[in-house]
Chains A and B, each alone.
Chain A
Amino acid sequence: MSQILDSYRGLQLGNRWDRAPKWFRTVALLLVVAFAFYLPFLNILPFAYIRTDLNPTGSDWASVLFLIVVYMIAAVGLNVVIGFAGLLDLGYVGFYALGAYSVALFGSPSSPVVQALQSRFDLSEEWAVPFVMCIPIAIAMSLTAGVILGAPTLRLRGDYLAIVTLGFGEIIRITARNLDNVTGGAAGITQVPVPPGPEIDGRSFFNTIDAERWYWLALVILILIVWLASRLEHSRVGRAWLAIREDEDAAAVMGVAGFKFKLWAFAIGASVGGLAGLLFGSKQQYVEPNAFMLNLSFLFVAMVVIGGSGNIVGVLVGAFLLTYLPERFRELQEWRPFAFGLALVLVMVLRPQGLVPSRRRAAEIEDRRHEAEEAAADA
């Protein structure tokens, strides 16, 4: 295993990529994107073996692709919090759930909120907030939750944030389950709206059968989010986050408003999580509390950490592996927790900086290790 890792390291992919001419990088990137768009129709052997629907019990390939991309979006958002700003958020599923519930609560004609609005303003029974309007609502809801949660806790140091966010993730789910007359309780909400689009063959453009359209939509959003996140990374904001991570007090004396930038990271992460949740809820056309269990939070964190905290490509790889592998090897269902745990332990032992690490994060981990060794030697 470590030999494989060594030979992989010997390739120096990161450095080569950086040194490659610009036209090459552009072309390569475009090819990757084009291939990603083509993936749902992949049918050429041997590549088709990556499909998840080769046997009759397998999951629908395009739906799996959609889920992968939704989780990628969430992971890129969580990476802003964990990888860039260095804040451990264990309740990310809370924002994801808020996004999904926002579109359901405001966009579904059968949601208690919409029904209340209908009777209050004498609207027809089909009326609901249009999908396009639900997007800003979902983002605003999760962003507000992020700010409300972050404002008091980000002033604290250390592990408080992890504990508080952990609680937050559960609170959202439990609230959704118990507030029967607002969220529909354990039964959830049906008739969640889908994005508008031309009708084809008598079906709306975004429907439950043609999953590849959902996948393409999510892919476009993912590309947009990755683009924005890398803008942040290579700017004063990214530098401020890095400075805070390395030495918060020194950063403050150099004029970096630590709290402000941490809150921004938190708010950005929350809104991206909300957006991912919105896509998920809309595709399912059904939202229920049990879809947002706490272990989804841990899965998100694992995607970021296993992939390579702080490196967007790494995080995408992490999200891909942790979503794709369980779907591809469905027949080994009962081994899932074991395989997951084993993979986690292996990565932490062999490659604590993640599969595709951020160069800086790797160096930071190495520094900590030296510090710990020195401290142990002193004692």
Chain B
Amino acid sequence: MPEHEIVGAEELKDTSDHDKIAIETSGAVGEVLLEVDHVTLRFGGVVALNDVNFDIRRGEILGLIGPNGAGKTTCFNAMTGVYTPTEGTIRFKDQEIAGTKPHRINHLGIARTFQNIRLFPEMSALENVMVGCDARHKTSVLGVLFRAYRVRPSEGELPKSGIRRSFAKVFGISRHTLEERAGRRRSMELLRFVGIADRAHEVARNLPYGYQRRLEIARALATEPELICLDEPAAGFNPAEKEDLMGLIRRIRDLGHTVLVIEHDMKLVLGVTDRIVVLEFGQKIAEGTPEEVARNPKVIAAYLGEPDDAA
């Protein structure tokens, strides 16, 4: 596949088709999806997480908030296999995942974005998302080399005319080719979904900041996660962009994903989440609906004097 294929005009139209990127989920809304079970995580003397305990339920948008250094990002790292909890465990769909390798956890169905953006800087936006899509693809290295696994193509997948068409009719099309095409299409769809399809073929490092943040989300969505964890997705955004992002988070949930979001902006958190967990100094100090949390004196005390948008 040439990496610099020009986007067709039709590809640019901003009509994301939700059916094409919605994921299949295997459980009922409201059941426990992920369980953080009395997790403690120490770095030498620093206790980053202290006996933290909470659930994420399928289909909800859960907010994780707390002052700087409260341990929110560390909590993400523990959930995605970057760190192993010192004590306690984490279960995802009733399966223990504490200590599992990051890529395996991703295959189980958890994806994340990074607080300090970590895209693949020299890949185009589209390729960044395609790496995410590859997580669900089955073609092996030998499959790529020899293309021996053939699939009988449907009418729509056949080349328009000529020898190639007859060839594909007789020998089928390799699974690699079909997956590559599907990944490309889905990636484009996802870029459109997060609203950055107009610069799909630009190298990630040249994208404006807001695009990079959205690209991180698209890349995470591409791995078809049942749970997507967003680490301060609105950091550095202006109010209008934050408003947009709230809409995006809701639409992500509508696709079938469960969302866990870390955010400092109280207005955004209270506006978009179903439930909120509050951390302070590595400990959970409150949990409940946005209204409950907003009224909680401990939370008010913890946030007193905190600037809204501390980086």
Whether chains A and B associate is: yes
A residues within 8 Å of B by Cβ?
A: 18, 228, 231-232, 234-237, 239-240, 242-243, 246-247, 249-258, 261, 264, 268, 360, 363-364, 367
Report yes or no: B122 in contact with A249, Cβ–Cβ below 8 A.
no
| B159-197 vs A, Cβ < 8 Å mask (1 yes, 0 no) | 000000000000000001001100100000000000000
What residues of chain A lie closer than 8 Å to B179, measured between beta carbons? 236
Q: Across the interface, which residues of A come within 8 angstroms of B1, CB to CB? A: 234
Number of interface residues of B (CB under 8 A): 42
How many Å from the CB of A212 to the closest CB on chain B? 30
Q: Is the CB of A235 within 8 A of B144?
A: yes
B2, B132, B144, B183: the one within 8 Å of A232 (CB): B144
In B77-106, which residues have CB < 8 Å from any A CB? 80-82, 101-103, 106
Q: A232-B144, A236-B137 are in contact. Are A252 and B122 (CB under 8 A)?
A: no
B113 CB to nearest chain A CB (Å): 9
Q: Report the Cα distance A232→B143, complex, angstroms.
A: 10
Residues of chain B lying within 8 A (CB to CB) of residue A363: 122, 203
B121 and chain A: residue at smallest CB distance: A246
**Does the CB pair B127–A255 fall under 8 Å?**
no
Contacting pair A242 B123 (CB below 8 A): yes
Indicate if B135 sits at the interface (CB-CB under 8 A): yes
Write out, one digit per residue, whether chain B residues 106-140 have a CB within 8 A of any chain A CB (1) or not (0). Answer: 11000110100011111100010011101111010
Collect the chain B residues with CB atoms within 8 Å of residue A240's CB.
131, 134
Which residue of B101, B137, B139, B141 contacts A252 across the interface (Cβ within 8 Å)?
Answer: B101
Interface: B3 (CB within 8 A): yes
* A256–B118 CA distance with the chains assembled, in angstroms: 15
Cβ B223 vs Cβ A254 within 8 A? yes
Closest to B4 in A: A18
Task: Among A231, A246, A257, A364, point to the contact of B103 (Cβ < 8 A).
Answer: A257
Contact count A vs B, C-beta below 8 Å: 104
Of the A-B pairs whose beta carbons lie under 8 Å apart in the complex, a sample of 24, sorted by A's number, is A231-B145, A232-B141, A232-B144, A234-B3, A236-B130, A236-B144, A236-B176, A242-B120, A242-B123, A243-B123, A243-B131, A247-B118, A249-B102, A250-B119, A252-B103, A252-B106, A253-B80, A254-B103, A254-B135, A255-B103, A255-B136, A257-B103, A268-B141, A367-B205
A253-B82 CB under 8 A given contacts A234-B3, A247-B118: yes
Identify which of A254, A258, A264, A268 contacts B131 (C-beta below 8 A).
A254
Interchain nearest-CB distance for B79 vs A (Å): 11
Instruction: Report the minimal beta-carbon distance from A213 to chain B, rounded to whole angstroms.
Output: 28
Do the beta carbons of B144 and A251 come within 8 Å of each other? no
Which of B106, B119, B137, B205 is the one whose CB lies under 8 Å from A253?
B106
- List 7 additional contacts besides A237-B141, A268-B141; criterion CB under 8 Å: A231-B144, A237-B144, A251-B131, A254-B132, A254-B223, A255-B111, A255-B136
Interfacial chain B residues near A261, Cβ < 8 Å: 141
Q: B80: nearest residue on chain A (CB-CB)?
A: A253
Residue of A228, A251, A254 contacting most chain B CB atoms (<10 Å): A254
Specify the chain A residue showing the minimal Cβ separation from B223: A255
A231-B144, A232-B144, A249-B82 given; A255·B123 CB < 8 A: no
- CB-defined interface of B198-220 with A at 8 Å, one 1/0 digit per residue? 00000101000000000000011
When distances are taken between beta carbons in the complex, the residues of chain A under 8 Å from B106 are 252-255
A251 touching B120 in the complex, CB below 8 Å, given contacts A236-B144, A239-B131, A256-B103: yes
A268: chain B residues within 8 A (beta carbon): 141
Chain A contacts for B122, CB-based, 8 A = 242, 246, 360, 363-364, 367
Question: Complex formed: what's the CA distance from A228 to B141 in Å?
Answer: 11
Q: Which residue of B lies closest to A238 (CB)?
A: B144
Looking across the interface, which residue of chain A has its beta carbon closest to that of B114?
A: A250
Once the chains bind, are B121 and A367 in contact (CB under 8 Å)?
yes
A255 to B107: give the CA distance in the assembly, Å. Answer: 6
Q: How many Å lie between the Cα of A249 and that of B219 in the bound state?
A: 14
Residue among A236, A249, A250, A360 with most chain B CB within 10 A: A236
